[in-house]
Amino acid sequence: MEKTIKKPIKITDISKSKEQLVKINPQELVPLPPPYDKPDNFPKIKQLTEEQEQQMDSSLDGFVLVGFPKSVSEEQEKKWVEKFLSGVKKLLNKEDNWTFLKPLLISLEYCTKCQTCSKACNIFQMSGEKEIYRPTYRAEVLRRIIKKYIKPGGRLFGKFYGADIDLNRNLLARLAELSYRCTLCRRCAQACSIGIDNALITREIRKIFSQELDITVPDLHKLGTVQQLETGSSTGMPPLAFKDNIEFLEEDFEEYTKMKFNLPVNVPNADILLIHNAGEYLAWPENPEAFGIILEAAGISYTLSSDLVAYDSVNYGLFYDDIQLAKIALKHAEIAKKLGVKKIVLGECGHAHKALGVVADRIFTSENNIPRESCLTLLKDIVFSGKLALDPSRNDFPVTLHDPCNIVRSMGIVEPQRKILRKICPKFREMTPHGIENYCCGGGSGFAICKSLNFPDWRMHISGRMKLKQILEAFQGDLGPENKKYVCAPCSNCKGQIRDLFKFYKVTEKSSIYYGGLVELIVNAMSDIKKPFIEWEML
């Protein structure tokens, strides 16, 4: 066990000695409501093996996601410092930073350190206010690097105006990990009276590490965007398996309901190209199935695509790399154009909404700038069009709604999903707070798919803590196993995180709380389908 430096931790500590800056003790975290209030009842934090400790740097907080190499030669250190600085320079000019230059410059320039953001950050709060997780901490590290190494005279006079920081191996190792201790939920940016976006600064730090130093998280890069561009999907599912899955879903539904059912693939000139997160087909196939049932019943002209990348809306480039982001977004637009559809509709995947729905505007030209729409607005229009026969009494169980940050806070799509739930779920209740003030599931910015080493324990103990607390509070007074309850989470990533939380804390077992998407609830209320669509034992 490594010693920890005594509080308070300063910004400059990030460059110092190899001692671990912070140690996480589950007993010191903000407690969960009973019967989940005894940390000893849950799995202990996984310790790294000796071999892993020797290879990877864990001197930030004892957790490892990036796996920055432990021993770095002086020559390598010098090279990385140079590359990092070259990356910082690129962030600050418009030729190289064609995605986020303006909001980044404003965020770097005007922060008054009032700390309103710290109060808004669930990670900082639930960790028991660990200094390194403060939203301004990593931002301030970058600011000081800029002041000292980029601004004229910084190296000589820097310490007189807050530029006292050493850009060395220790800083790089800790900053690389620290850029992955924020879920990019942007609750801090919303709380800031002048809109300083510390999540964006975090994302841009990840970008420097990826684009300049080739330091990435394997789950997001090698097994994520690289695999998606090569095999067609971040799940590794090739087009052949996709088509086989579609056939299986059609048969499965027909067998279950004795109704005919078709999922259209590669239909030219349909109105809509619908793209799901491919994880849905493998982990939650009832979700794409439910989409198919609703769109068919409403008579919507749409198609899925079996082209490489076009059956997976995932774009993890959003979280760490502009080049990967652009490659995938362009592929999505290319297939839509090839099929001749009028627009792309994104299924229940939060980050795909933001990547293709918003950020792609910075990538597309007038030629490929195809309209994109959220499934939530389309579903609201369908549910209120009268085209579906809906019987809300079939959803006669308590339901609460999780707001995916990318869809709700970042895009402002707040009401459509609520209007639907108010109409079809008589026992719907909100979490506190909700809407644009929601808390992240704790799996944001791709964390939900990061399953390696001991990082999942950080997600379970710290980043997911507030969401679990909110879910339990939404069902307060009914936390026993008697009644089934449903958390509606219209986002694949959020579902993955909520599934992991429920398993870790035994929530389904103890409190009969299940989770799923929005379309499943709509189909469950459709009176034309005789058997209930939601099969609790499969959730």
Partner 1 sequence: MAIFKHGDIEIEVDEDGFMQEPDLWNEEVAKALAKTESVEELTPDHWKVVNYLREYYLEFHVAPMIRMLCKKTGFSLKEIYELFPSGPAKGACKVSGLAKPTGCV
C-beta closer to partner 1: residue 124 or 514? 514
CB neighbourhood size of 137 (10 A): 21
Residue range at the interface with partner 1 (CB under 8 A); choices 97-105, 281-289, 353-361, 466-474: 281-289
Question: How near is the Cβ of 537 to partner 1 at its closest, in Å?
Answer: 7
Among 57, 140, 212, 219, binds partner 1 (CB under 8 A): 219
C-beta closer to partner 1: residue 416 or 443? 443
Among 280, 307, 403, 520, binds partner 1 (CB under 8 A): 280
Amino acid at 54: Q
x/- string (CB under 8 A) for partner 1, residues 480-519?
Answer: ------------xx-xx-----------------------
C-beta closer to partner 1: residue 197 or 500? 500
CA atoms within 13 A on the CB side of 77: 14
Residue range at the interface with partner 1 (CB under 8 A); choices 19-27, 273-281, 297-305, 507-515: 273-281
Q: Which of 320, 326, 406 is nearest to 365 (CA)?
A: 326
CA 53 to chain centroid: 28
CA distance between the termini of the chain: 40
**Residue 409 token pair:** 């806070």
**Residue whose entry in the numeric block shows the structure tokens 């980050």:** 351
x/- string (CB under 8 A) for partner 1, residues 42-61?
Answer: ---------xx---------
C-beta closer to partner 1: residue 311 or 475? 311
Is residue 270 within 8 A of residue 339, CB to CB? The reply is yes
x/- string (CB under 8 A) for partner 1, residues 320-349?
Answer: -----------------------------x
Q: Which of 272, 266, 278 is nearest to 309 (CA)?
A: 278
CA distance 307 to 311: 7
Query: Which strand ranges, in their side-by-side order, compose the sheet holding 428-429?
Result: 428-429, 399-401, 485-488, 513-516
- Cα–Cα distance list, 69 to 196, 401, 484, 502 (Å): 32, 41, 47, 33
Residue range at the interface with partner 1 (CB under 8 A); choices 183-191, 217-225, 325-333, 365-373: 217-225
Residue range at the interface with partner 1 (CB under 8 A); choices 177-185, 222-230, 293-301, 421-429: 222-230
Question: How near is the Cβ of 350 to partner 1 at its closest, in Å?
Answer: 10
**Residue whose entry in the numeric block shows the structure tokens 């600085």:** 85
CA distance 498 to 510: 15
C-beta closer to partner 1: residue 158 or 285? 285
Mapped onto helix, strand or coil, the DSSP state of residue 96 is: coil
Residue 472 contacts partner 1 per CB under 8 A: no
Among 39, 238, 392, 435, binds partner 1 (CB under 8 A): 238
Residue 168 contacts partner 1 per CB under 8 A: no
Is residue 317 within 8 A of residue 323, CB to CB? The reply is yes
Binding region for partner 1 (CB under 8 A) = 51-52, 219, 223-224, 227-228, 231, 233-238, 240-241, 244-245, 248, 252, 277-283, 285-286, 312, 314, 349, 448-449, 451-453, 492-493, 495-496, 537-538
